[in-house]
Structure 1
Amino acid sequence: MNVFIVGGTGTLGRQIVRRALDEGHHVYCFVRSPAKATFLREWGATILQGNLCAADSILEALKYAKAAVVIDASATRPTDTLTIAAVDWQGKVNLIQAAQAADIEHLIFFSIMRAQDYPQVPLMQIKHCTEDFLRESGLNYTILRPCGFFQGLIGQYAIPILENQSIWVLGESTAIAYMDTQDVAKFAVRAIDRPATYGKTFDLAGTRAWTADEIIQLCENLSGQQAKITRLPIGVLRAARQATQWFQWTWNISDRLAFTEVIASGQVFNAPMEDVYRTFDLDPNATLTLEEYLQDYFTRILRKLKELDYEKAKQKKSGRKKRSPFKSTP
């Protein structure tokens, strides 16, 4: 089947591309910068250049791909020059309207768990509004709503511990059922030819919900190192958000800070998954746990560090044995 993927260069998107290709689909990746998508072409995907903010480019690419299914895994990056409103709202409206015009059979959209509960947070409000817009579009749709990815925890917890840097813990720790992006990708690709998912919204949760303190303790146990924890009151976060709202070039930062306040709220982001696994015909026992993911990460990193230390010691020892040919014997 011809599958049109938006956001294929992202952390989640690349896993969807990889899995769709592995399952024999013809994958077309809609990207802003083909230079950053070279690895997708090497995997076997066809690269189509365009921009969600340029509606004509979407329709042109969809018609070229002759795709039956669209998977939208795109998201605004904090460093983007465009705002969240421009990409995550107007861009998604453009995509949905282009899908209507191109007679797309099925659109799979990634939202965020409990987006409807946080109308004061720009990204959550936009995701919720996009869900409603998609439901009213007349398209066959599937909405997937994960709440967090394992991959984001490496920079947030693992690396600071290894580098003896502070870990910032904000407000009251929120328990979040993170998932590996490879497991999330399974649901997206399985939905491609699964009519049982049409017109439905699915929360996606990992094997258990973890607070920041629990993740830090797990990282400490696996790395054998103690974390430096700096706890930041929620009031400081709110003040920073207000300050960044004053300047256009910091609007994206302000919106991200608002989202950060969600994960410092002390609420639980989790959901029952039995019926979801049954609908998608996936084995819950094959889902990676956070313990397994971090165990693999720390095992590989600590092994690499030992190898580097060995090489440094070897070079140092070798250097002591050598005598410079330019130095006279005393």
Structure 2
Amino acid sequence: MKHTNVLLAGATGYLGRYLLEVLTEQQNQVIAIVRNPDKLQNSNENFLEVKQAEVTKPETLRDICKGVHTVISTVGITRQKEGLTYMDVDYGANMNLLKEAKKAGVKHFVYVSAINGEKHRALKIFEAKEKFVDALKSSGLNYTVIRPNGFFSDMKDFLQMAKSGRVYLFGSGHQKFNPIHGEDLARAIVDSLDMDTKELTIGGPDVLSLNDIGELALTALNKPIKISHLPDWTRKLTLWCLRNFTSVKTYGPIEFFLTLMAEDNIAPSYGNQHLKDFYLAQAKNL
């Protein structure tokens, strides 16, 4: 890609760290906005400027986009914490960034949502993300919405379950999707900066069923293959109970997981990192 000035928001997250690596490695000038600068490990000082700011507090972002060509935001929360809701972060914080970007005449705004977000607006996680997508599309800025399939980091839940010696799945376990490694996704995003892509739905190289993923997790831990299939009504009942008897903080991430796990989510394949290898590496630390 052409060297450019990039503002990266969410640089200390799973995807943000890889984006920072790829952007600086390709000699782009990056301004990384972080709440806690100590959390940022990057040796590429020549191409990196770290600014301390909180995206949920607009006063800390004043003029932060001055001289910036491209804004990339991976800002969002999987689990609500510190009293912040999805609307505060996934929508509100990104709106704060968008306002600054418009004010400074930024040329391109890249936002990371998730696969099929437009189809699942009723889910708490997506409600806020897609509200921001709408605002971005009508902002007048050149934009790209990135819609990744599940991250490898989210697939650790299966490994945790496999530790007990058995994996539990809802339904047949034939539901397929192709999760993607953060580094592969970061490279795809940086590659797309030169293209006029409005929406990029993307997954990893291997299309796997839930049964496959359960087997990979058990095999990585040298456990016999034991997978139990729970009837799908138990998934629906779990969702109903969570929505009615727990706070959104508890049910938000589980609702997301249980809904997307009930259907195929296959995205165009990209990258060369495999879940099998990721599990084998993770298993050593468990």
Structure 1 pair 166–18 and aligned structure 2 pair: CA distance change class (3 A): same
CA contact (8 A) 2:77 2:90 kept: yes
Q: CA RMSD in A?
A: 2.4
Counterparts of 1:163-202 in structure 2, within 5 Å, are 163-164=163-164, 167-170=167-170, 173=173, 174-192=175-193, 194-197=194-197, 200-202=198-200
Is the 1:50–1:61 Cα contact (8 Å) retained in structure 2? no
CA drift of 1:166 comes to: 5.3
TM-score normalised to the size of structure 2?
0.86
Q: 1:212 to 1:20 in 2, by over 3 A?
A: same
Could you report, residue by residue, the CA deviation over 1:220-243 in whole angstroms, capped at 9, with x for unpaired residues?
334321366566621123302321
Does the 8 A contact of 2:151 with 2:181 survive in 1? yes
1:157: how far off?
2.1
The structure with more radius of gyration: 1
Instruction: Specify the code of the residue in structure 1 equivalent to 2:180.
Output: M
Contact in 2 for aligned 1:69/1:105 (Cα 8 Å): yes
Counting only pairs closer than 5 Å after superposition, residues 82-121 of structure 1 correspond to structure 2 as: 82-121=84-123
Using the TM superposition, give the Cα deviation of residue 210 of structure 1 relative to its aligned residue in structure 2, in angstroms.
2.1
Q: Percent identity?
A: 22
Q: Residues 86 and 62 of structure 1: is their aligned pair in 2 closer, same or farther, counting only changes over 3 Å?
A: same
Contact 2:75–2:94 (Cα < 8 Å) also in 1:
no
Distance 1:223 1:293 in 2: 12
Structure 2 portions without partners, runs of 5+: none
Give the structure 2 partner of residue 258 of structure 1.
255
Alpha-carbon distance in structure 2 between the residues aligned to 1:134 and 1:79 = 23
Shift of 1:32: 1.7
Q: Contact between 1:3 and 1:67, CA under 8 Å: does it hold in 2?
A: yes
* Matched letter for residue 203 of structure 2: A
How far the C-alpha of 1:54 sits from its partner, in A, is 1.6
Once residues 3 and 23 of structure 1 are traced to their aligned partners in structure 2, the CA distance between those partners, rounded to angstroms, is 12
Q: Could you say which structure has the higher helix fraction?
A: 1
Give the stretch that moved more between structures: 222-231 or 200-209.
Answer: 222-231
Work out which of the residue numbers 9, 29, 47 in structure 2 matches 1:26. Answer: 29
1:51 aligns with 2:54: yes
- Secondary structure of residue in 2 paired with 1:169: strand
- Where 1:61 maps in the other structure, the secondary structure is coil
| Residues 1:254 and 1:222: Cα distance change in structure 2 (over 3 Å) | closer
Do the aligned partners of residues 169 and 58 (structure 1) sit closer, same or farther apart at CA in structure 2, a change above 3 Å counting?
farther
Aligned to 2:137: 135
Bigger CA drift: 46-55 or 5-14? 46-55
Q: Deviations over 1:1-38 (max 9, x none)?
A: 2211011101111000011111111211111222323x
Answering whether residue 66 of structure 2 is matched by residue 69 of structure 1, we say no
Asked if the contact 2:176/2:208 (under 8 Å) is kept, the reply is yes
Where does residue 80 of structure 1 map in the other structure? 81
Cα distance between partner residues in 1 of 2:223 and 2:165: 11
Tell me: CA distance 1:96–1:218, structure 2 relative to 1, closer, same or farther (3 Å): same
Using the size of structure 1 for normalisation, the TM-score is 0.75
Match of 1:321 in 2: none
Cross-structure match for 1:270? 266
Is the Cα–Cα contact under 8 Å of residues 51 and 57 in structure 1 kept in the other structure?
yes
Letter in 2 for 1:294: Y
Q: 1:180 to 1:166 in 2, by over 3 A?
A: same
Distance 2:155 2:30 in 1: 29
Of 287, 294, 316, 2:279 maps to 294
Paired with 1:128 and 1:55, the residues of 2 have a C-alpha distance of 21
Distance of aligned partners of 1:97 and 1:213 in 2 relative to their CA distance in 1, 3 Å threshold: same
Unmatched 5+ stretches in structure 1: 246-250, 274-283, 306-330
Paired with 2:276 and 2:255, the residues of 1 have a C-alpha distance of 29
Q: Secondary structure at the match of 1:157?
A: helix
Contact 2:11 2:17 in 1 (8 A): yes
Which of 192, 199, 208 is residue 206 of structure 2 equivalent to?
208
Structure 2 counterpart SS, 1:143: strand
Whole-angstrom distance in 1 between the partners of 2:19 and 2:279: 21
